Structure 1
Amino acid sequence: MSNIRITKQFSFETGHALYGYDGKCKNVHGHSYKLSVTVIGKPISDNTNVKYGMVIDFGDLKKIVKEEIVDVFDHATVFNKNTPHVELAKELQKRDHSVLLVDYQPTSEMMVIDFAEKIKQRLPENIKLHALRLQETDSSYAEWFASDN
């Protein structure tokens, strides 16, 4: 049976700031992110299996990405925990804001690497993460491909 790639798309709203950056993105701002998740595998060939003909049930993929990424990042503000933004983060948390402190500069490039690791850990053994595309604006996105890593 052939390997088939399937893709599911997600969207979420996230704020961030790039500490030390020399442009406008040093300021806290947000994006309407669009995340495309592509996995690869062989469709189930056992016609007695309720998932017969599927590489992975889109609902199962949705559950993984929703739990690992969307529910965590949606309407949160992301800061690199190794910067002075930690003080701002603490103040926002005191005011009951959703704040994520990460080990990296929260660029699309670094976020897509983080997302790839989280999703790969949750996929069934026979399904591989093929690619991610994280679109930050209408004209800007970062991509991660398994073949490059």
Structure 2
Amino acid sequence: MSKIRITKQFSFEAGHALYGYDGKCKNLHGHSYHLFVTVIGEPIIDHSNVKFGMVIDFGDLKKIVNKEIIDVFDHSMIFNKNTPHLNLAEELKNQEHHIILVDYQPTTEMMVIDFAEKIKKHLPENIALHSLKLSETSTSFAEWYASDNE
């Protein structure tokens, strides 16, 4: 049977600041992120399976990505918890803002690595994460490929 790649696109809004950076992105700012999730597998060939002909039901992939990424990161402010931004994060949390503290500089590159690990853990055994593309603007994005990380 042929291996097939399927892709689902997701969107979320989030803010961040890059502590120690020497450009404008050191300031608090936000993006309309677009995440493209591509998985690879063989279509189900069991005629009695309700998902016959599918690699994975797009709805099942959506549940995984929503639970692990979208529901967590949408309308949040992301800070590296190992920087002085921690004080600001705590102050914002106390004012009931949705704050996420991560162990990395919250660049698009590092976020896509984090997202890959989160998604891979929840995919069915016969489905592999092929790639992720995370865009923070219409012209700027980072890509993660399983083949580059084996």
TM exceeding 0.5: yes
Structure 2 partner of 1:138: 138
Partner of 1:13: 13
The CA deviation at 1:98 is: 0.2
Question: SS of the residue aligned with 1:55?
Answer: coil
- Percent identity reads 75
Aligned position for 1:79 = 79
The amino acid of 1:3's aligned partner reads K
Return the alpha-carbon distance in structure 1 between the equivalents of residues 33 and 136 of structure 2: 5
- 1:30 aligns to what? 30
**How far apart, in 2, do the equivalents of 1:94 and 1:147 lie?**
42
Amino acid at match of 1:56: I
The equivalent of 2:106 in structure 1 is 106
Unaligned runs of 5+ in 1: none
Deviation string, structure 1 residues 7-42 (Cα, Å, up to 9, x no partner): 000000000000000000000000000000000000
**3-state SS of paired residue (1:122):** coil
Aligned CA RMSD, in angstroms, stands at 0.2
Q: Distance in 1 between matches of 2:104 and 2:47?
A: 45
Aligned-pair CA distance for 1:63: 0.2
**Per-residue CA shift, 1:116-137, capped at 9, x if unaligned?**
0000000000000000000000
What's the TM-score, normalizing by structure 1? Answer: 1.00
Letter in 1 for 2:12: F
Deviations along 1:29-57, whole A, 9 cap, x unmatched?
Answer: 00000000000000000000000000000
Kindly report structure 1 stretches of 4+ aligned residues shifted beyond 4 Å. Answer: none
Whole-angstrom distance in 2 between the partners of 1:94 and 1:146: 39
The structural deviation recorded for 1:146 is 0.3
Partner of 2:124: 124
| CA–CA distance in structure 2, aligned partners of residues 9 and 50 of structure 1 | 24
2:70 is aligned to: 70
Match in the other structure for 1:44: 44
Count of paired positions: 149
Unaligned runs of 5+ in 2: none
TM-score (norm 2): 0.99
SS at match of 1:137: coil
Q: Which amino acid aligns with 1:76?
A: S
